[in-house]
Structure 1
Amino acid sequence: MTDEPVLLVVEDGIAILTLNRPDNLNAASAAMMRSLAQRLEAVAQMPGLQCVILTGTGRAFCAGGDLAEFEAALEAGGSRLIDTLRANQDIIQMVEDLPVPVIGAVNGVAVAGGLEILLCCDIVIAAETAMIGDGHTRYGVVPAGGASVRLVERIGPLRAAQLFYTAALIDAGTAAEWGLVNEVVSAGELLRRAGQLAGDICRASPEANRHVKALTGRIARDDRRAERIRAELDRFATHLLGGDLAEGLAAFREKRHPRYIDGS
């Protein structure tokens, strides 16, 4: 398989985007996010496009941001980390802004930034072995890809709070019960089922589907939604003044449990 960080295959009006850093659990490195942005730009302009499937290779859909890169950006100082987070937020928004239905096919772990990408999908199909959660706070990270807004929209404030505050992962069956996943299938059936749904979408009116997507997508959200998503970056900038992020990233690098000190 090619080492391109995001693969793209298009057939019969269906674009399949595959996150392709399996050795790193498809962690969202700067290179992968740039590649994803390029692919999304190309897909959004494709004539005859009717559906997009988004999935990953290997054991994970996406394990979130590349924390090694986060640590390097933190150590570099200045606005480098916030600039990276802003760029990632914009790229994740591109998934939600696609003009056609998007099917997320969760092949494995989807956590933090991986969850934030899934929250921009219109339909989510998960392999029965998939584990899904927010997970940011485990390593002292504040959500910065829209989870603080989209997760509450998707599953309500109580269940969102559980995922945010515990950093725990839930299995695919629980995710379906909570309304985070439409269907759970065997791992071997995941892409076949996603393709079947995409085929059903393609047999419907493409013009009508685009209108429905516009009506049910971000155009239908309240005017302050984008502002609330951007507020994550302001909160993250404040978070940089504390020590938990540096400790969390060091713990990730050293493969140990973080040792947080409550300085409130």
Structure 2
Amino acid sequence: MTQLVLHTHRQEHILRLTMNQPENLNSLGFKLVAALRASLQEATRDDAIRVLILTGTGKGFCAGADLKTMNHPYAPGEPDVLDCIVELFDELRNFPKPVIAAVNGITAAGGMELMMCCDLIYAARSARIGDAHCNYGIVPGGGGAAILPRLLPAAIAKYLLFTGELLPADKLQHYGLVNAVLDDDQLLDHATTVASVIAQKSPIGLRRTKQVANEALDKSAADAIIHERLAARDQFRSYDYREGINAFLEKRKPEFKGY
């Protein structure tokens, strides 16, 4: 029987995607990338899904690109694995709903870049994270060198980029890359608890807030504030805005619908 490279699990408004290639530490090859992209596109269209959790099976969250694909004989104009991975990363960064990474083990190179596409990062105590591209003479192509220095102090980011060392998750939590480090057996429960809290909020409000926050670092503070103000004005016209105000006045819990 063919092994599923990606497992999906739905729990009310939460979708959990579990990469399932433990034999190669969930390396990103064509099949896994295609499965992830298909699931993201389906989840984007499904209004019942409000939060996404991404994790892996075995001893690795994701070890990066499947290097065996690098020697694949590509036809002229055929997308290579890097093209496919970059498209996946773009779709994950722009996914309109909050995404939580539950980092369960080795997270290297493209795996670290995949992790950085998520909004919140929770890591198992045994997790080791870093950029291993330099170990194989590879230049990062999915955000390692471009995004990591925005998330970490430059000296720490360059240490990871230049040495290829994988650091313990708790050390990177100290620098703010990881939200929290959990005992291995509590990682998924904690990520699910956080997802459950988020799933109770206004989906359309979170989508607008996420877009403003994602784009803010590429704008001046003044332009980011204008964007935020426009998003707030748009939210005024939503059902969820009225429901939130009425729930406050009536001293009850709001029931958001996402429009």
Which residue identity does 1:15 align to in structure 2?
L
**Helix, strand or coil for the counterpart of 2:123?**
strand
Which residue identity does 1:201 align to in structure 2?
I
Q: Is the Cα contact below 8 Å between 2:74 and 2:80 reproduced in 1?
A: no
Q: Give the Å deviation of 1:41.
A: 0.8
Corresponding residue of 1:132: 129
Corresponding residue of 1:46: 46
Q: Deviations over 1:210-239 (max 9, x none)?
A: 11111112x33428xxxxxxxxxxxxxxxx
Q: Is the Cα contact below 8 Å between 2:152 and 2:175 reproduced in 1?
A: yes
1:108 aligned residue (92, 97, 105): 105
Equivalent-residue separation in structure 1 for 2:208 and 2:198 (angstroms): 13
Corresponding residue of 1:254: none
Q: Deviations over 1:3-38 (max 9, x none)?
A: 211122222111111111011110111111111111
Which residue identity does 2:10 align to in structure 1?
V
Corresponding residue of 1:159: 156
Q: Deviations over 1:243-263 (max 9, x none)?
A: xxxxxxxxxxxxxxxxxxxxx
Matches within 5 A, 1:1-264: 3-70=3-70, 72-73=71-72, 76=73, 83-217=80-214, 219-222=215-218
Which residue identity does 1:154 align to in structure 2?
L
Equivalent pairs: percent with the same residue? Answer: 35
Which residue identity does 2:160 align to in structure 1?
L
Q: What TM-score do the two structures reach when normalised by structure 2?
A: 0.80
Which residue identity does 2:118 align to in structure 1?
C
Corresponding residue of 1:244: none
Q: Give the Å deviation of 1:154.
A: 0.9
Q: Which runs of 5+ in 2 are unaligned?
A: 220-259
Equivalent-residue separation in structure 2 for 1:207 and 1:124 (angstroms): 22
Equivalent-residue separation in structure 1 for 2:143 and 2:85 (angstroms): 10
Corresponding residue of 1:226: none
Q: How many residues align?
A: 219
Q: Give the Å deviation of 1:81.
A: 9.0
Which residue identity does 1:131 align to in structure 2?
R
Q: Give the Å deviation of 1:79.
A: 6.0
Q: Is the Cα contact below 8 Å between 2:30 and 2:84 reproduced in 1?
A: no
Equivalent-residue separation in structure 2 for 1:108 and 1:57 (angstroms): 9
Q: Which runs of 5+ in 1 are unaligned?
A: 224-264
Equivalent-residue separation in structure 2 for 1:77 and 1:123 (angstroms): 36
Which residue identity does 1:18 align to in structure 2?
T
Q: Give the Å deviation of 1:129.
A: 0.3
Which residue identity does 1:197 align to in structure 2?
V
Equivalent-residue separation in structure 2 for 1:48 and 1:82 (angstroms): 33
Which residue identity does 1:222 align to in structure 2?
D
Corresponding residue of 1:233: none
Equivalent-residue separation in structure 2 for 1:207 and 1:222 (angstroms): 23
Q: What TM-score do the two structures reach when normalised by structure 1?
A: 0.78
Q: 1:60 to 1:214 in 2, by over 3 A?
A: same
**Helix, strand or coil for the counterpart of 1:165?**
helix
**Helix, strand or coil for the counterpart of 1:47?**
coil
Equivalent-residue separation in structure 1 for 2:130 and 2:182 (angstroms): 18
Equivalent-residue separation in structure 1 for 2:168 and 2:175 (angstroms): 11
Which residue identity does 2:62 align to in structure 1?
C
Equivalent-residue separation in structure 2 for 1:220 and 1:79 (angstroms): 38
